[in-house]
Amino acid sequence: MSYSWLDEESTISLDRRANQKTPFYEPIVNTFKDGGYNPNVSYHYNPDVSKYHYGVRHPMKPFRLMLTDHLVIAYKLYEQMDIYQPRRATKEELLEFHSEDYIKFLESVTPDNAKKYAQHLRQFNIGDDCPVFDGMYDYSQIYAGASLDASRKLIAGMSDIAINWSGGLHHAKKHEPSGFCYVNDIVLSILNLLRVHPRVLYIDIDLHHGDGVQEAFYLTDRVMTVSFHKYDGEFFPGTGNHDEVGLGKGKHFALNVPLHDGIDDESYISLFKSIMEPVITNFRPTAIVQQCGADSLGCDRLGSFNLNIRAHGECVKFVKSFGIPMLVLGGGGYTPRNVSRLWCYETSVMTNVKLNSRLPEVLPFRTFFQPDYSLHPNLGDRYDNKNSKKYLENLRNQLLENLRYLRGAPSVEMQEIPPDLQNMTTDEEQEILDRLNRESEYDAHLDEKRYWLNTKDQARVSEQVD
Ligand SMILES: [Zn+2]
């Protein structure tokens, strides 16, 4: 069936009956590719998050999240997942990691009163990368709230894989924003997971080093951080060389994979798998947080790698294949049409669904995806690959050498339950259980609300203009 005449014009609605016959997706039944692993997947998205603007020239475009959501809905992936519209993170929740004066500042500063805060703007590193924009604090609460909600579903055993594409803002520090990130939703959700999980593995495949998360857990052996990124000593944030391995008790529990421009699908996947397999089998995480920054794709506005969507997804699929509870987050990504393609594709990977490469005809903002209207445009040949075989081989050997120290780390072997939970009184434990129960009732209500939002999105197709 061809609708080529539609491609010129996104505002025309299709004949509904014809449309119903178009196969949007073909569920894979009985696949053994992942050892038959068929996880419960949940999707955590508050549509308000896409309405904020960092500024016209700023490369971070929250509307990429709306594009992603439209793709997920158009491919009907919501049928394969529990859908939640999470609440915002409270101030108290943000204070679990961030300092009080920083959060107070975020809460009070606006574009109108920014002049009054001149000294604070300097103190808190507010500037071009992290501007003061309207609703900045609300925006931060919304994306952090979604990651926390996702982590709660994992803790409660209600989800095996919980997805928040609006999260993954890995640069934010305890006292200040950094690299387009105001609060660090990743650190907050790992802290939450640590309440019940003895060991959490953090994996970061953003183009940039996951410095904020590494820094937060640099001294502990309960969180292992692994980051694959571009590194030349100058590229933002300037950290992430292979010799950063953690300190004190955390020594050898940080791993960095510094890469040069132009890395291609094959070398990236091969390196990723050969490092991550021994990391997972030696560290034995009980939960994994996977940051899926999309700026490592080829053709990214700020990027210089050559990865295609399938290759990026292959890494996430590999991690999923271990069957360990997993929080899946977004991150960077500055060419919105490719960011949304990637995260929709990765949603399908998590739900074991095979998508038709041709984008659904009923898709708001479909003209964003011209001229190919494909889920898998070729993104892989813009840059020369500056990573020689020899460089990658040496790097791999160096990193594997580091992993030899993982076995037998004291709290990995002996401390199965974190001390704060061991010391918990019955009352405290009951309170947590009650709260989890209350939250699941509340979520069931939102689930229903979310269903209607989906239906509304679909019904509104003919009104969309870009
Ligand atoms: Zn990035």
Return the CATH number at 178.
3.40.800.20
What share of the chain has pLDDT > 70, as a percent?
A: 80
- Which residue has better confidence, 360 or 32? 360
At residue 4, does pLDDT exceed 80? Answer: no
- State yes or no: pLDDT of 113 exceeds 60: yes
- pLDDT at residue 84 greater than cutoff 50: yes
Find out whether 149 is annotated in a ligand binding site. no
- Residue 93 Cα to ligand 1 midpoint, Å, equals 25
Q: Is the pLDDT of residue 47 over 90?
A: yes
Is the separation of the CB atoms in 237 and 178 below 8 Å?
yes
- Does residue 294 or residue 30 have the better pLDDT? 294
User: Does 206 show up as a binding residue in the annotation?
Assistant: yes
Does 138 show up as a binding residue in the annotation? no
3 lies in some domain: no
Q: What is the mean pLDDT of the chain?
A: 85
Ligand 1: centre distance to CA 156 (Å) = 31
pLDDT of 422 higher than 70: no
Consult the annotation and say whether 218 binds a ligand: no
pLDDT, residue 239, reads 97
- Residue 208 known to bind ligand: yes
Residue 169 Cα, ligand 1 centroid: separation in angstroms? 9
pLDDT digits (tens, 9 = 90+) for 248-279: 999 999 999 999 999 999 999 999 999 999 99
Least Cα distance to 376 among 302, 441, 311, 461 occurs for 311
* 58 given a catalytic annotation: no
| Residue 264 counted as an annotated binding residue | no
In angstroms, what is the span from residue 266 Cα to ligand 1's centroid? 21
Q: Is 21 within a domain?
A: no
Position 244 scores a pLDDT of: 97
- What phi and psi, each to the nearest 5 degrees, are found at residue 229? -165, 170
State in Å: Cα 166 to ligand 1 middle. Answer: 13
In 3D space, the residue among 319, 298, 318, 228 whose CA is nearest the CA of residue 268 turns out to be 228
Q: Mean per-residue pLDDT for 186-211? A: 97
22 falls within a domain: no
In a domain, 27, yes or no: no
Asked, for residue 262, whether it belongs to a domain, the answer is yes
pLDDT of 124 reads 78
Q: How far is the CA of 257 from the centre of ligand 1 (A)?
A: 15
Among 171, 197, 209, 312, the one annotated catalytic: 171
The pLDDT confidence band at residue 432, using thresholds 50, 70 and 90, is low
pLDDT of residue 429: 58
Report, as an integer, the average pLDDT of 182-197: 96
Following CA atoms 338, 339, 340, 341 in sequence, which dihedral angle do they give, to the nearest 10 degrees? 40
Q: Which of 45-59, 156-170, 415-429 has the lowest mean pLDDT?
A: 415-429
Task: Give residue 400's domain range.
Answer: 34-460
Cis ω for the linkage preceding 237 (within 30 of 0): yes
Number of domains composing the chain: 1
How sure is the predictor about 20, in pLDDT bands with cuts at 50, 70 and 90? very low
> Does a structural domain hold residue 345?
yes
Confidence of residue 405 (pLDDT cuts 50, 70, 90): confident
Q: Stretch 233-241: mean pLDDT, rounded?
A: 96
Instruction: Tell me if 465 is assigned to some domain.
Output: no
pLDDT of residue 441: 58
Who has greater pLDDT, 18 or 390? 390
What 3-state class would DSSP assign to 100? Answer: helix
β-sheet bridge partners, residue 374: 358
Q: Note whether residue 5 is domain-resident.
A: no
429 CA distance to ligand 1 centroid (A)?
Answer: 38
